[in-house]
Amino acid sequence: MNYNNKRFRPIDLTENAEVSSDTVFEYKQTGNILTSEYQSDQIITGHLIGIVSKDGTIEMRYHQVNKKGELMTGICFSKPELTSTGKIRLHENWQWTSGDKSSGKSILEEL
């Protein structure tokens, strides 16, 4: 699966997420390396980098500066699903590696 130039937006989030439904991730992929820059109402700027496996799952790390001025970091594992319309839906399990180190789940859908 290739995510290059695909855009995703969260459609379901746990409460401890800093991203919101207005966050758009535009993925860039070269080989099996995935990157993205993003921002939202709570995030001034954020970046992620990941590795895409042959089955399309993504192991990534992210860092972002939130509106409180805090540098937040985390790890995320995304599993793709193809919807009936042919769009990609990503089921994510993530955990903060800074702050309270809590974990959460998100679902992102291709725009």
What gap in Å lies between CA 81 and CA 103, rounded to an integer?
Answer: 21
Asked whether 102 and 16 are in contact (CB, 8 A), the reply is yes
Structure confidence at residue 1 (pLDDT): 85
What gap in Å lies between CA 30 and CA 54, rounded to an integer?
Answer: 14
Q: Kindly indicate the confidence band of residue 20, based on its pLDDT and cuts at 50, 70 and 90.
A: confident
- Asked if pLDDT for residue 111 goes beyond 90, the answer is yes
Structure confidence at residue 32 (pLDDT): 98
Q: What is the CA radius of gyration of the chain?
A: 13
For the stretch 28-56, pLDDT in tens is: 999 999 999 999 889 999 999 999 999 99
For the stretch 59-105, pLDDT in tens is: 999 999 999 999 999 999 999 999 999 999 999 999 999 999 999 99
DSSP string for residues in 66-106: ETTS-EEEEEEEEEEEE-TTS-EEEEEEEEESSTT--EEEE
| Mean pLDDT, residues 2-19 taken together | 93
- Asked if pLDDT for residue 19 goes beyond 90, the answer is no
The total of other beta-carbon atoms located within 10 Å of residue 21's CB is 12
Structure confidence at residue 48 (pLDDT): 97
